[in-house]
Amino acid sequence: MTNKEKKLKKQAGFSLMELLIAMVVMLMLLGIVSTLLSRSMGVRARESRRTDALTSAQAALNVMSREIANSGYGIFDNSVTRIANNGLILADSNANQIHFRANITNTGPQDDPIALQTSDPGEDITYFFDPTTDSIVRFDPNDNPQVSVVVNRISNVTFEYYNYEGSNSTPTVTSVPTLDTGRVRINVTVQMDPVVGQPDNQQVSFTSEVTLRNSNYMLRQY
């Protein structure tokens, strides 16, 4: 082989087989990178939606907890015994809604019925979940507007009632309140939006326990 032939052989390009192998390897690497990137974007979208869900749930809990804690303020069973009342409207409160009153402005003759002492805005409130709008709704007959949305994009809200009977410090938990209810647990659930590549029907739950500091049992602890 002459020097010229050797030089031409050294300058020869890739063969067809080598090109095919290189293309296959490149396609495999691109497929792996694309899969990893897709998963990364899916995780980011999932965490972003989780953060939004947690923010919504926390906002709802903060608003409800603040007002529910004041339930029973300034009111009592009657003008003779003057036993503290937890403010819960038993006939209108259950696992799906809570209705409570508080005499926040502390007005009205002491012998008036409880209902007449709670006729100002913020003193007669009902919270419930509206499934048609996925919202927690606040109803106040003395406010304007009477109905307002606390937070939307909520899947459900439920209430549990801790009842302290007599001097017993171990409560019973029920789905409806009693005259002995001294604490309320609020459970807020948020159904996260679907994300491509992530499991469906993911939920985030938040729970808050609110002490009714004006209930007869709680006042006797101080």
CB 71 within 8 A of CB 100: yes
Long-range contact set of residues 191-199: C-beta below 8 Å, sequence gap at least 24: 191/155, 192/46, 192/49, 192/50, 192/53, 193/49, 195/42, 195/45, 195/46, 195/49, 196/42, 196/45, 197/38, 197/39, 197/42, 198/42, 198/43, 198/45, 198/46
pLDDT less than 70: residues of the chain: 1-14, 35-50, 52-53, 79, 110-116, 168, 192-201, 222
pLDDT at 47: 65
pLDDT at 219: 78
Predicted TM-score (pTM) of the model is: 0.74
CB 86 within 8 A of CB 68: no
Q: Cα 49 to chain center, whole Å?
A: 13
CB 93 within 8 A of CB 177: yes
The domains of the chain are located at: 44-219
Supply the DSSP symbol for 84.
B
pLDDT at 93: 96
Phi, psi of 195 (to 5 degrees): -125, 130
pLDDT at 94: 95
Q: List helix spans (H) across the chain.
A: 3-10, 16-68, 216-219
CB 211 within 8 A of CB 218: yes
Pairing of strands 135-139, 147-151: antiparallel
CB 165 within 8 A of CB 200: no
